[in-house]
Copies of this chain bind each other. A is one copy, B any other.
Amino acid sequence: MAKYQKLVDEIRQQIASGVWLPGDKLPSLREQVARSGMSLMTVMHAYQVLESLGTLVSRPQSGYYVAPQAEFLRQPEAHQKVQLAESVDINTFIFDVLQATRDPHILPFGSAFPDPDLFPQRALMRSLNTVAHSMKPEDALNNLPPGNEALRKTLAQRYAMQGIAVAPDEIVITNGAMEALNLSLQAVTEPGDWVVVENPCFYGALQAVERLKLRAVAIASDPQHGLDLDALREALSRWPIKACWLMTNYQNPLGCSLSDEKKAQLVSLLQEKGAFLIEDDVYAELGTDGEHRHPARYWDSQGTVLHCSSFSKNLVAGFRVGWVAAGRHAAKIQRLQLMSTLSTSVPMQLALAHYLTSNSYDRHLRALRRSLAQRKMLARRALTRWLPPEVNINDAQGGYFLWIELPPDLDAMQLYYRALARNISIAPGKMFSSGDQYANYFRFNASWAWGDEQEQAARILGELIRTLLDEQQKRLLSQP
């Protein structure tokens, strides 16, 4: 093959795979010569051939650009929407559900994140701006684990105001609550150990159990009363449980919270048995009934509870800053973090520390809770209007999820795929359980502003559920 042809093929391949998009300026002749070791003549020849093929256009005094028509060269993207397969790997499925919520054409009722329009974007960006003007090079090294000192102090103060004694040194700043939870679980377990999760629960807990090669007992939680403490007591007697990963407030996906009494009992039960509680409290600030609920950590003074939370669900999306109040486990968690991600982004830590000391976070939270309560009410009303009466909508006193129960034997996965084909995403119950108990449930994110499009979506969901009911009816009738 002639040398220039090699370069021609290479560049066409690069355009096909998206390295250069239509309109992009290609490296100059000089740069190509320098990097390829080819002669100027060869490179010029290749560019001219590409121009004659219509792949590139040259602009005098400027250089070579990818032609607008070159789009046809791009390989068709793999079809993005998930397909119903006979056997679905649940992690792949969860991944697909999360990916689908990113498509701007799809209404993200399956998303786990609240509407970012509810967050104080301007104040946050002012803080980021301040960091951009004041950050010093050495700050990078001063904020390695356990993380920014001012931020940890502010968090400790917020704990203090709740009557919880947490020293700044017990707090480790993490890449979101997800890392806090994962590192906490890792810190108190070894592969093969037994742990307790809820059923249903946040899929992250199930994935962590799998990834850390733990053995899990799933304890039933109820939309009204939360975790069944008697079942937990029994599990603690039967298995050598090392840790429980639980959401005590506004549980995902149910929305339920444990009563103060149950939290106190939970802590003393775990202390008695020598098991740890990884407390996932990311919705702590989102109580929409005006009540503040303590975490179980409030009743612990023995280092039983590792309390994990973040700013991602109530202040800012995408900063990826969370924390764990880890007590005596703080040093171990720092070491684990140094081995896995090294540290949390420093400008992000500084920006949050700045926001928290120069704005009223609590005032924002009050406004956020009001908006969420309002939006959830509108969503619930619309769904009540459009979904068949056989559908049961569980609403909680906090957070932004509705937990929706379809009639028995109706498959929420079927509903998921059909809704997605209509550009509506939901989160099927299967994502939140290793068993099949919640196959007829789905989680509905009600944090979005409710308008015509949303109303229309509720109507479509109603239609789709009625169709599923009809099909079920026909199947039953056709049976001998």
**Chain A positions near chain B (C-beta within 8 angstroms):** 10, 13-14, 17-21, 27, 31, 35-36, 91-92, 94-95, 98-99, 101-102, 104, 108, 111, 113, 116-117, 119, 121, 125-126, 128-129, 131-133, 135-144, 153, 156-157, 159-163, 165-169, 175-176, 178-179, 182, 191, 204, 207-208, 211, 213, 316-321, 331, 334-336, 338-348, 351
Contacts and interface: CB of A to CB of B under 8 A. Distances in A.
Nearest to A183: B340
Contacts of A13: 165
A91 B113 CA distance: 36
A237 to B, nearest CB: 29
B19 A156 contact: yes
A269 to B, nearest CB: 26
Contact of A18 (B153, B182, B342): B153
Nearest to A213: B191
Contact of A163 (B35, B126, B319): B35
A128 B178 contact: no
5 contacts: A17-B168, A18-B168, A129-B132, A137-B317, A191-B191
A234 to B, nearest CB: 30
A346 B334 contact: no
Copies in the complex: 2
Main secondary structure of the interface of A (DSSP, over half): helix
Contacts of A182: 339-341
Contact of A342 (B162, B178, B338): B178
Nearest to A77: B169
Closest 9 CB pairs of A and B: A140-B318, A318-B346, A17-B167, A140-B317, A116-B137, A128-B132, A129-B132, A175-B341, A19-B156
B153 A19 contact: yes
B95 A153 contact: no
Nearest to A349: B318
Contact of A141 (B102, B191, B344): B102
Contacts of A125: 132-133, 135
Residue of A166, A176, A317 with most partner-chain B CB within 10 A: A317
Contacts of A345: 175, 318-321, 345, 348
Contacts of A111: 141
Nearest to A144: B102
